[in-house]
Amino acid sequence: MTSRSLLTLMLGSLLLASPAQLPAQSKDMMNKDPLQPGLETATLGGGCFWCTEAIFELLPGVKTVTSGYAGGHKDHPTYKEVCSGTTGHAEVIQITFDPTVISYERLLETFWEAHDPTTLNRQGADEGTQYRSIILYHNEAQKIAAEKSKAAAQARFRNPIVTEIVPLTKFHPAEGYHQDYYRNRPNEGYCRLVIRPKVEKFERGLKAAAP
């Protein structure tokens, strides 16, 4: 188990001991309204969902980002179970977005930028099948777009991309304390040392690309 997983399990046990202590979660799936007309959904896994959530929340046109689990074989898995590697789930984010503002293809471009898709079951110090790179498509159009995007992205990497492209069967929202993790705990050690540099780098890229 990584230090990040141990830290989270300790934090989760404290928070879950008293629901009243949970911070307000603007993007908690449990409190989310049904998908609004005109919005679409994407589900992506690129290692630690705290990191990918923080990055995708910066994109114009993205309405919500929910951390959760997908790609496994057990209903309603807990974080502890997912970390054990026995349920087959990956840590993923589910994104609702306005396709008139941002396309699915643009989300995929960000996906390749936000993590290393060439490392099997690992992102940095986080290691395990739950950290695998994975795109879970919602329909045939997303499948085609994902395969095309993966082929194009390969030119950026020296090593082969190992990202899985599979149909989404079920998405399980993660426990409440995982939602908006970076926003709620920006000064926590993992957030300062791992997430903040990624977020700041991505923010610089957005500003540079702005008209």
Which of the residues are catalytic?
Answer: 48
Cβ atoms within 10 Å, residue 13: 11
149's CB contacts (< 8 A; 6+ apart) are 105, 108, 109, 112
User: In 3D, which of 74, 109, 68, 115 has the Cα closest to residue 90?
Assistant: 68
> Does residue 11 come out as left (phi exceeding 0), alpha (psi in the -120 to 50 range) or beta?
alpha
Chain CA centroid to CA 33, Å: 20
User: What tokens does 143 get?
Assistant: 């499948």
- What is the β-pairing status of strands 133-137 and 40-46? antiparallel
Structure-token match 């896994």, residue found: 45
- 3-class state of residue 40 by DSSP: strand
Asked whether the beta carbons of 59 and 122 are under 8 A apart, the reply is: no
CA distance 125 to 86: 20
